[in-house]
Amino acid sequence: MNAKQLIEDNNRKRELLTTENEEYYGDLLLYIRLKLTLSEQQSEEVLMELLDHLLDAQEAGKTAREIFGDDPKGFADAIIEHLPKEEKRKVIPFIGGIIADIIGWILVIRGGLLFILSQFTEVEVKSTVHPISTIGIALVLASFVLFTIFYIFKIIDRSLFTEKPNAKKDSIKAGLVGALGMAVVLLVVKFLPEIGPAFVFPWWVSLIVGGILLFSMYLRKKRKEE
Amino acid sequence: MLSTKSEEFIENLRMYLMMSGKNEREIDELLEELKDHLVEVEKKGKSIEDIIDLTPEQYMATLKKEMKTDYKHIVKLLPIYFLGVIAYFLMGPAIRGEFELNIIQVIGFPIIAGFGLVMYVSFLQQAGKKQYSKKKFFFGWMIASAIVTASAVLLLVGSNLVIDPFYIGGWKTDVIIIVICCSIFIYTAIKSKAWFPIWLPAILFISDVFSRFTSWSIETILMISIASYILMFVFMLLHLWRLERKNNGVA
């Protein structure tokens, strides 16, 4: 069974857990899944084994705490220690796929917007691109988004296995990081001059290139599923 | 302790009855009773299907028929909904300095808001009754929202092609509209005791603010908007996860 099927199976089977066992196992599951460097396939296989074991124990009237122990974090860390890391040859295409998807969507929306705007405004719509500045802004934005997502993952990670996590404080922290980060990004965008060569990138080229990129990503996904 | 399946059934039933306009207090009382009953039943190794002779769908429909509809509450909620929807669609043009009105928009907006209400309510009722999975619920909600947004945008842009506006706003009108819309968002946030009616429009209108007040290229504004949407999505997931934990009594 591949990781996707295991996740679907896990979601279905988890419904059979009691609320108490679901809380325990749910935290365990999230804690392991948030360790993004681990092999997804191996992690899901171990999670499924644990779930099957827990379901059997539940039928015998036992709780997760009774079979996995009172220290769920320690138990999870022990499992993580034995899990292999995700292979680099799988990580690179995964991240590359996300980046290609985002660029594809930006190009398609840009093309559509430029076309619509040119129909409604008499002033010529600016379709010149400064690649160096645009890539610079894209990198700053991508770093900001990645940093915020990892920060949120850290917050979730820290609040797992605690009886009363401080939800309000965590939300304020996440909100502040998001707002301050965005302020920094906007300042960079404001003061970054348009440097380097520029070329005209009309709406139809943008639409075609974006469309090809998205279609090839779709084909890649389909081929992977087969 | 209830099984996750029964917990989900209860939450779906709550959503179905709420969306059918039943009294919140009566729903809570009914669900508390059902919960106690289910705990006893599950202790004997049985499930929800064993205690109701009907399918979950039929069972929910029977309860809906038996309970009285809380018309007073509905009448209180409707103006908030209509104001909220109209504020969402007027805020963007006002920020961009393109606020104008034509007769098709004046008639069409309340119709679209009404159509959206019927669609959202029937979707939520169906989701509760047929116990949609989270994935199905998410995509269904996205499709419903996209239909309402597309109809409103079509009305906003399309009507300008066939009819001249009877009113064209200036900067003063823009400021008044923005202040009124912001007040509606704040009022909705206070009423619903949640932050999302404030940060959701803040993120949605970010591109309008930049397109009016800066000379940034379309790519830059697009990239900032997409980054904001990604973060909004992550924050929403964090919020939903917290809510689920809270419902389970963890947080």
Can you give the three-state secondary structure of B212-224, one letter per residue?
HHCCCCHHHHHHH
Does any domain span residue B29? yes
* Residue A108 confidence (pLDDT): 92
Domain identity same for A55 and A103: no
Q: Average of pLDDT values for A83-92? A: 81
Q: Which of B38, B32, B39, B68 is nearest to B52 (CA)?
A: B38
pLDDT digits (tens, 9 = 90+) for A17-63: 888 888 889 889 989 988 888 888 999 999 999 999 999 998 888 89
Q: What is the greatest pairwise CA distance in chain B?
A: 71
Q: pLDDT: is B142 or A122 the higher one?
A: B142
- What are the chain A neighbours of B1 within 8 Å (beta carbons)? 18-20
- Find the angle CA(B176)-CA(B177)-CA(B179) to the nearest 5 degrees: 65
Q: Is 70 exceeded by the pLDDT of residue B249?
A: no
Last residue of a domain, one of A82, A112, A145: A82
B21 within some domain: yes
> Are residues A211 and A109 part of one domain?
yes
Nearest to A106 among B7, B226, B241 (CB): B226
For the ranges A60-74, A177-191, A205-219, B73-87, the one whose mean pLDDT is highest: A205-219
Per-residue pLDDT for A210 more than 90?
Answer: yes
Domain identity same for A219 and A132? yes
Confidence of residue B184 (pLDDT cuts 50, 70, 90): very high
Q: What is the pLDDT of residue A124?
A: 60
Three-class secondary structure of residue B69 per DSSP: strand
pLDDT: which is higher, B93 or B238: B93
A51 and A107 housed in the same domain: no
The pLDDT value given to residue B1: 66
Chain B nearest C-alpha distance from A137 (Å):
7
- Statement: residue A183 has pLDDT above 60: yes
User: Would you list the DSSP string of chain A?
Assistant: --HHHHHHHHHHHHTTSBHHHHHHHHHHHHHHHT-TTB-HHHHHHHHHHHHHHHHHHHHTT--HHHHH-S-HHHHHHHHHHHSPBPPHHHHHHHHHHHHHHHHHHHHHHHHHHHHHHHHH-SSPPP-EE-HHHHHHHHHHHHHHHHHHHHHHHHHHHHHTT-SS--HHHHHHHHHHHHHHHHHHHHHHHHH----S--EE--HHHHHHHHHHHHHHHHHHHHHHH-
Owning domain of residue A37: 3-82
- Given a cut of 80, whether residue A148 has pLDDT beyond it is yes
Confidence of residue A126 (pLDDT cuts 50, 70, 90): confident
Total domains present in chain B = 1
Q: With a cut of 60, say whether residue B62 has pLDDT above it.
A: yes
Residues A128 and A210 grouped into a single domain:
yes
Chain mean pLDDT for chain A: 87
* Per-residue confidence (pLDDT) for residue A54, from 0 to 100: 93
Mutating which of B2, B4, B7, B138 best tests the A interface, going by the most A Cβ atoms within 10 A?
Answer: B4
Q: In terms of Cα–Cα distance, which of A54, A56, A35, A75 is closest to A161? A: A75
User: Which tops the pLDDT comparison, B62 or A163?
Assistant: B62
What integer pLDDT is reported at residue B69 of this predicted model? 87
The amino acid sitting at B250 is: V
Report CA dihedral (B177, B179, B180, B182) to the nearest 10 degrees.
120
Q: Biggest alpha carbon distance in chain A?
A: 76
d(CA B178, CA A173): 29
Taking residue A94's Cβ as centre, other Cβ atoms within 10 Å add up to 11
Pick the last residue of a domain from A57, A82, A107: A82
Q: Residues A38, A65: one domain?
A: yes
Q: How confident is the model at residue B251 (pLDDT cuts 50, 70, 90)?
A: very low
Write out chain A residues lying below 8 Å of B250, CB-based.
23, 163, 165
Residue B46's domain comprises: 4-66
Residue B192 has pLDDT above 70, yes or no: yes
Q: How far apart are the first and last CA of chain B?
A: 17
Residue A125: predicted pLDDT: 63
Tokens 């076309």 belong to which residue? Answer: A115
Mean pLDDT of B121-128: 90
pLDDT band at A165 (very low <50, low <70, confident <90, very high): low
Chain B: residue nearest A134 by CA?
A: B220
Residue B124 is assigned to a structural domain of this protein: no
The answer as to whether B53 is a domain residue is yes
Chain A residues with CB under 8 Å of B218 CB are 110, 113-114, 126
**Within this chain, do residues A105 and A200 fall inside the same structural domain, yes or no?**
yes
Question: Which residues of chain B approach chain A closer than 8 Å at the C-beta?
Answer: 1-5, 7-8, 214, 216-220, 222-224, 226-228, 230-231, 234-235, 238-239, 241-242, 245-246, 248-251
Q: Mean pLDDT lowest for which of B47-61, B220-234, B235-249?
A: B235-249
CB contact under 8 A, B231 and A16: no
Q: Residue B126 belongs to what H/E stretch? A: helix B103-129
Write the residue in A18, A128, A164 that is nearest to B2 by C-beta: A18
Residue A160 confidence class, pLDDT cut points 50, 70, 90: confident
Residues A63 and A158 in one domain: no
Instruction: Say yes or no to pLDDT of A123 above 80.
Output: no
Average pLDDT over residues B72-95: 87
Q: Are residues A105 and A175 in the same domain?
A: yes
| Residues forming a β-bridge with A199 | A129
Q: Classify residue B12: in a domain, yes or no.
A: yes
Q: Could you tell me how many residues make up chain A?
A: 226
Residue A144 shares a structural domain with residue A181: yes
Average pLDDT over residues B226-243: 82
A48, A82, A116: which is the final residue of a domain? Answer: A82
pLDDT of residue A36: 82
DSSP state letters, A17-73: SBHHHHHHHHHHHHHHHT-TTB-HHHHHHHHHHHHHHHHHHHHTT--HHHHH-S-HH
When the pLDDT of each residue in chain B is averaged and rounded to a whole number, the result is: 86
Domain identity same for A175 and A93: yes
Distance from C-alpha of A94 to C-alpha of A96, rounded to nearest angstrom: 5
Is 90 exceeded by the pLDDT of residue A98?
A: no
For residue B250, pLDDT over 80 is answered with no
Of all helices (H) and strands (E), which one includes residue B167?
strand B167-168
Phi, psi of A131 (to 5 degrees): -55, -40
**A14 and A111, same domain (yes or no):** no
Q: pTM score, two decimals?
A: 0.73
The tally of domains found in chain A comes to 2
Contact (CB<8Å) B224/A141: yes
Contact at CB, A19 and B7, closer than 8 angstroms: yes
In a domain, B157, yes or no: no
